[in-house]
């Protein structure tokens, strides 16, 4: 079962804006968008957004998500040191009826 | 307050079996979509299995026929029975909740339990 494609790493400075991408197909990302998860070392994942730009309560407004066709994006504005983490996209695959994940992007905040 | 506590992991020989548990408080397991997601050491997240509406199930191809997901509603607990374990099943296994399957995202996760398959 093929997964979603994410760049392995992104580096940005404190206060800058990072945009992470996630490429799927019409059965997953293009179907009803992506969810984004943040994972710090040694901890379980944390949901940042779902169905493109819905944020659970407690998630910073610095985080926003979008989709264009089969590509989903997560934007984190005003980067802080605590934003340094691994970020995973996930999407429901309508043809397989399963969740598919991206390989993750390691965000480094310089 | 929501709590999800996994247990049952450990060191097991190839070909062996383990049963993982995810004890939940704060919501009803059978009323939500419940997934198992694993993460091999130093690797990314991998979907394993899903149960929704308390009875519908599906599995990743890599575990189909070997793993079985189930729920004990009386204990509000999710299980993953893992048989014929292989070295490549070595991972931290997380249980996760999604209130509406395929739509609302996995908003609650357990802390994970480590399964190591090795001779």
Per-residue pLDDT reduced to its tens digit, B43-53: 999 999 999 98
Decide if B112 and A44 are in contact by the 8 Å CB cutoff.
yes
What is the per-residue pLDDT for B54? 81
Beta carbons of A51 and A33 less than 8 angstroms apart: yes
Q: Does the CB of B23 have a partner CB in chain A at under 8 Å? A: no
Beta carbons of A36 and A49 less than 8 angstroms apart: yes
- The whole-number average pLDDT for the span A87-99 is 92
Give the distance from residue B96's alpha carbon to the nearest chain A alpha carbon, in angstroms: 10
pLDDT tier at A1, thresholds 50, 70, 90:
low
Cα B57 to Cα B91: distance, rounded to the nearest angstrom: 21
Per-residue pLDDT reduced to its tens digit, B13-44: 999 999 999 999 999 999 999 999 999 999 99
What element of type H or E holds A76? strand A71-76
Instruction: Mutate one of A20, A44, A56 to test the B interface: name it (highest B CB count within 10 A).
Output: A44
Instruction: Mutate one of B103, B105, B106, B114 to test the A interface: name it (highest A CB count within 10 A).
Output: B105
Contact residues, chain B, for A94 at CB < 8 Å: 102
């Amino acid at each position: 079962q093929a997964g979603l494609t994410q760049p392995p790493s992104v580096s940005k400075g404190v206060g800058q804006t990072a945009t992470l991408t996630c490429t799927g197909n019409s059965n997953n990302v293009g179907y009803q968008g992506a969810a984004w998860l943040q994972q710090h070392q040694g901890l379980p994942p944390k949901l940042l957004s779902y169905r493109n730009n819905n944020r659970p309560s407690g998630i910073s407004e610095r985080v926003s998500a979008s989709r264009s066709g089969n590509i989903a994006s997560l934007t984190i504005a005003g980067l802080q040191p605590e934003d340094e983490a691994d970020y995973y996209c996930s999407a429901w695959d309508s043809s397989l009826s399963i969740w598919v994940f991206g390989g993750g992007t390691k965000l480094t905040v310089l | 307050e929501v709590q999800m506590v996994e247990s049952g992991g450990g060191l097991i020989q190839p070909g062996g079996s383990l049963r993982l548990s995810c004890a939940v408080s704060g919501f009803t397991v059978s009323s939500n979509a419940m997934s198992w997601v694993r993460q091999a050491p130093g690797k990314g997240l991998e979907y394993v299995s899903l149960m929704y509406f308390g009875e519908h199930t599906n599995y990743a191809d890599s575990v189909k026929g070997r793993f079985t997901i189930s729920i004990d509603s009386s204990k509000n607990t999710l299980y993953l029975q893992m048989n014929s374990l292989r070295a490549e099943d070595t991972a931290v296994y997380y249980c996760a909740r999604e209130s509406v399957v395929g739509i609302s995202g996995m908003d609650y996760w357990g802390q994970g339990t480590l399964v190591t398959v090795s001779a």
